[in-house]
Structure 1
Amino acid sequence: MIGTIYKCEICALESSAPIRWFVIHCSDAKLAVCKWTEEQAGKPHALHFCGEAHAQVYISRWFESFCGSAVMLGGK
């Protein structure tokens, strides 16, 4: 049986047996970082990251887009 192949959202590394990977679930107002489990990784819209560094890249970009928006800065 062939397992699911997961791909890192940042570097596109693929793995069918992720070790030390992270899963992120997010929306416009909420971001949740989870340790890797098949259950979390298989949820709809789950984002997969090959390690802490790439999860941090995504989190930084998420904060930048949210905190830098015109609404947050009082712009029109």
Structure 2
Amino acid sequence: MSASEKFEQQPLTSHLAELRSCLMISLAAVLVAFVLLSTVTEELSAWFLKPLLRVLPGQQSLIFTSYQAGFFFT
């Protein structure tokens, strides 16, 4: 029996259990990535804004009213 035949013969509850486990693993991965990336927020934002800071005229600086506003340039 091939893997595709075995997959097709599973009952609905088995498919839902597999889906639940995949969703839990995905959620855990997103949470871990969020925690890890939140520790390097300053360095990450400096890396993203480096090209913009390089072309600013004179001694000007960037001012944002909220942290995520720096990523929405018009």
- TM bin, normalised by shorter chain, reads 0.3 to 0.5
* Rg larger for: 2
Higher strand share: 1
TM-score of the aligned structures, taking structure 1 as reference length: 0.31
What's the TM-score once normalised by structure 2's chain length?
0.32
Higher normalized helix content (fraction of residues): 2
